[in-house]
Amino acid sequence: MNKLDTTEPDRPPHAHGDGCGCRHTHHHHEVPPVRGGAASREHEINGHDHHHHDHGGGCCSSSSSAIAAGRAATYAKNDPPPEGASRVRYRIDNMDCPVEEQLIRNKLEAMPGIARLDFNLLDRELTVYHRLDDAQTIAAALDRLDMAPRFLEAGSVPAAAPSGLSAERKVLLAVGGIAAVGAEAISWITGEDGSWLVMVCAVVSLLSAGLPTLKKGWIALRNLTLNIYFLMSLAAGGAVIIGRWSEASMVVFLFAVAEAIEVLSLERVRNAIKSLASLAPETAEVRGGNDWLEQAVEEVAVGSRIRIRTGSRVPLDSRVESGRASLDQAPITGESLPVDKQSGDQLYAGSIVTDGVVEAVVTAVAGDSTLARIASAIQQAQSQRAPTQRFVDRFALFYTPAVVACAVVVVVCGPLLFGGTWAGWLYQALVMLVIACPCALVVSTPVTVVSGLTAAARHGILIKGGAFLEGGRLLKTVALDKTGTLTWGKPALTDAIAFGDMPVERAVLIAASLDEHSTHPIAKALVSGWRKRQPDAGLLLVEEFGVVNGHGVKGVIDGQTWRLGNHRLVEELGFRSPELEAQLAVLEEGGKTTVVLCADSGPLALFGLADTVRPESVQAVAALRSLHIEPVMLTGDNSATARAIADQLGIQDARGSLMPEGKQAAIAELKERHGAVGMVGDGVNDAPALALADIGIAMGAAGTATALETADVAIMDDDPRKVADFIGLSRRCASILKQNIALALGIKVVFLALALSGQATLWMAVFADMGASLLVVFNGLRLLGHFSAHGTRFRACA
């Protein structure tokens, strides 16, 4: 007979006698420690068959290796500080673009004693791990780059990053634009590009709109870095040398406009992330003696009693002590419908009370709330370079010098081989330099990746870095833990069969009245099932209640003795019959736990209880199949239970009787057979398998700090459909990244051809570069609205 296993992992094998009469035998297994310092624990519903499956290991496919490479790079960022290294943080207001990041990298990484650099472009923060006696040399190096670093005290919360475009910068940009247009107009009307009026307008434009670009170009040249600012400065300087003053001013002005638009686009992403962190109110209503006082959330200690009213946001993570309320948890878990909360339930900071009033006890300080951990994880994730970004950076490292070299060849060899003036060929070389600027390539990836990370967080999916956002598209198989992921993770009454003349509802009432006195999970499930069937009925009075050791319970109701227990109870009472045995066999083969209600005359009713499938799980499995991903179910339950649940979900590959190490072996075998594998579990019990999978996805992570810390992807609620949502987002992100690279390179190829044929002008080149940059930025920003724009789930790509 199938048995229900609800034993805690630190208990020895025993038989329950808790008032349910121990209908079920329990088994204990040692569980090894796992990643993140958490101990793994097995709490599957139904008994474990002790058969370990040795699937072996093996090498992974290329897709699996690609994810592993990204994982290694990402985890390198999450590692503790390098041994013996000190840590210093700076706010760098002048760092708002990957170009500045690369400039800083080139400068600092070449310094002896620098161990690691972590960048957060959105918050304009730089963290340096070093082994220097005096960190002042780091600040001095940043000052030489005109980065204006500001030291941040350890543990301090820095002020918000300044707005991307200051009022002064807007005014200077407007002045520069008017002057540049004026220079072009005067040059076109008079036909004199070297007149003093054109030169004055051009100089005004260069000094107002173009001075930041020219200054950064000089810094790049001084540090032997060939970046976009150097190329633009070179183009402007060359145009001035050959007397093209109006074009020099227009080149620099148009570049400044493109840069300003890119900054505003990044500001939009920054504000989207900040909106998550600012969901929690700044004050809480705290109990002080007999009064309720307004208090800043930073000052509220764990254990304080707070009150949250209708329409208010929950200020801190807390546990309900009294009252009932409905809460909108969408900002945290992505759930679309309000969730009812009562005494003992967890509240998350940032949730909105839509109806009711509750008093709650604070369980975490403001800086350690689930919301704060989510915001911190997003910031950490966006600071890490995704695989595509690393590729683009490497490409630009060789691409830019090659373009400069080609331009030099054009200037030197053009007049010698094809004739013409030196000034004419210099002009064509300058056009080539501007067109070939890698700006569009460099900015396309971070904007797209951060937009994807933010969209996922809004939807209740926390992705721990660009490596995993991009890696999701490579998954070929997804292994899903059964209990708590595909099923509810607790037994429920599924069958009630009456024998003889007794109405089935009467039998359920008698059984619930007996089990009301028990604390066993099966007993609680039976009572809960009765309440759903008969919400307005009351329980019957039970007299002479007692436990039948190892078999069940007994009691007297209305003068009649009743016994409620397992198959062995029926055998001991001598009530076996072919009809009963047939019914028991049907339920047990379906992976259900059976309970029999007996009177003195014999069995009168039979009940089946089992862990039931979540209503979303069928859609989740179907969604994975629609993405051409093979779903596999792994469980510690016996094979009959595993097969019964798998058949309901349409999963062909279902593996039962697996301990944590067995699941780990199954993941290794799946990787060898299929390639890249994702594992979906609870983040604790399944931690060994999550660690071995190419991407580990933890379910129900909102209330589990361990899952937030150790999982590669954390789904904040218990909706398994979001696994397919994540993979669909990953595929769309990859699609947009490919579009951006194709756009950036395609536009440059077309205009390079025009330049080589002498058809392109300098300002046309800037328009091409600016247009490519803006196209890829706006295309990447489309990911911010991925889930809102696609009302239906499971979109694979755009």
Whether the pLDDT of residue 324 is over 80: the answer is yes
Q: Cβ-count burial of 768 within 10 angstroms (0-12 exposed, 13-18 middle, 19+ buried)?
A: buried
* CA 211 to each of CA 222, 249, 575, 774: distance values in angstroms, whole numbers, following the listed order: 16, 11, 96, 22
Using pLDDT thresholds of 50, 70 and 90, give the confidence band for residue 538.
very high
Q: Are 302 and 363 in contact (CB under 8 A)?
A: yes
Which residue in this structure is represented by tokens 């993570």?
Answer: 317
Q: pLDDT per residue over 329-340, tens digit each?
A: 876 776 666 888
Average of pLDDT values for 616-631?
A: 95
Of 478, 744, 739, nearest to 623 (Cα)? 478
* Beta strands per DSSP E along 417-504: 461-463, 477-481, 487-498
Query: Which amino acids are annotated catalytic?
Result: 481
Q: For residue 170, count CB atoms less than 10 angstroms from its CB and return exposed for 0-12, middle for 13-18, buried for 19 or more.
A: exposed
Q: Give percent of the chain above pLDDT 70.
A: 83
Interatomic CA distance for residues 445 and 780, integer angstroms:
8
Residue 453 CB: number of other CB atoms within 10 A?
A: 31
User: Do the Cβ atoms of 684 and 663 come closer than 8 Å?
Assistant: no
Task: Tell me the three state secondary structure of residue 216.
Answer: helix
Q: How far apart are CA 349 and CA 351, in angstroms?
A: 6
Question: Is pLDDT of 188 > 50?
Answer: yes
Give the pLDDT of residue 220.
85
Tens digit of pLDDT for each residue in 191-242? 887 789 999 999 999 999 888 888 888 888 888 877 778 888 888 888 888 8
Are 522 and 611 a contacting pair, CB within 8 Å? no
DSSP structural state of residue 426: H
Residue 157 in 3-state DSSP?
Answer: coil
pLDDT of residue 759: 82
pLDDT score of 79: 53
CA distances from 749 to 414, 442, 461, 778 (A): 20, 17, 39, 21
**Tokens (6 digits) for 193:** 């590009």
Q: What is the pLDDT of residues 55-98, one digit of tens each?
A: 333 333 444 444 444 444 444 434 567 888 888 999 888 887 77
Q: Check residue 207 and give its pLDDT.
A: 92
Give the pLDDT mean for 310-318. Answer: 91
Please determine, for residue 503, whether its predicted confidence score (pLDDT) is greater than 90: yes
Q: How far apart are CA 594 and CA 588, in angstroms?
A: 7
CB 313 within 8 A of CB 402: no
Residue 705's pLDDT is: 60
Nearest Cα to 193, choosing from 243, 125, 268? 243
**What pLDDT does 504 receive?**
94
The mean pLDDT value of the chain amounts to 80
Burial 268-290 (b: 16+ CB within 10 A, else e): ebbebbeebeebbbeebbbeeee
Q: What are the residue ranges of helices labelled H in 109-191?
A: 136-144, 167-190
Residue with tokens 């969408």: 330
Whether 783 and 458 have beta carbons less than 8 Å apart is answered as no
What CA–CA distance (Å, rounded) separates 512 from 528?
Answer: 8
Strand, helix or coil at 636? coil
Q: Residue 602 region, left (φ>0) first, then alpha (ψ -120 to 50), else beta?
A: left
pTM for the complete prediction? 0.71
CA 335 – CA 316 distance, rounded (Å) = 19
Strands of 535-657 (E only): list them.
Answer: 543-548, 552-557, 560-565, 593-599, 602-613, 630-634, 653-655
Instruction: Quote the pLDDT of residue 72.
Output: 43
Measured between alpha carbons, how far is 379 from 119 in angstroms, rounded to an integer?
10
Q: Is the pLDDT of residue 373 over 80?
A: no
Start-to-end Cα distance in the chain: 51
**Beta carbons within 10 angstroms of residue 18's beta carbon:** 12
- C-alpha span between 463 and 453 (Å, rounded): 6
pLDDT for the residue numbered 684 = 58
**Under a CB-based contact definition with an 8 Å cutoff, are residues 11 and 543 in contact?**
no
Helix, strand, coil share (%) of the chain residues, nearest 5: 50, 20, 30
Segment (H or E) for 128: strand 125-130
Which among 460, 359, 403, 423 has a CA at the least distance from the CA of 726? Answer: 460
Extended beta strands in 642-796, E state: 653-655, 677-681, 695-698, 713-715
Residue 360 has pLDDT above 90, yes or no: yes
Which segment of 507-516, 594-603, 744-753 scores lowest on mean pLDDT? 744-753
All residues at 6 or more sequence positions from 55 whose CB lies less than 8 Å from its CB, including other chains: 665, 666, 668, 669, 670
For 477-482, what is the mean pLDDT? 94
CA distance 638 to 655: 9
The stretch 658-665 carries a mean pLDDT of 86
CB-based contacts of 295-300 (< 8 A; 24+ apart in sequence): 297/366, 298/365, 298/366, 298/367, 300/362, 300/365, 300/366
Distances (CA, A) of 125 to 110, 117, 680: 20, 11, 34
Give every CB contact of residue 742 below 8 A, 6+ residues apart in sequence: none
Q: Residue 11: its pLDDT value, please? A: 32
Per residue in 273-297, pLDDT (tens digit) is: 666 667 778 899 999 888 899 999 9
Residue 485 has pLDDT above 80, yes or no: yes
487-336-686-650 Cα dihedral, nearest 10 degrees: 40
Q: Alpha helix locations (H) across 111-244? A: 136-144, 167-190, 196-208, 211-222, 228-241
Q: How far apart (Å, rounded) are the C-alpha atoms in residues 637 and 624?
A: 23
pLDDT tens by residue, 419-473: 888 888 888 888 888 877 777 777 778 788 888 988 898 888 988 888 899 999 9
For residue 178, is pLDDT > 80? yes
Answer for the pair 633, 605: CB distance below 8 angstroms, yes or no. no
Give yes or no for residue 669 having a pLDDT over 80: yes
Radius of gyration (C-alpha) of the chain in whole angstroms: 33
Burial class (CB in 10 A: 0-12, 13-18, 19+), 409: exposed
- C-beta separation of 403 from 436 below 8 A: yes
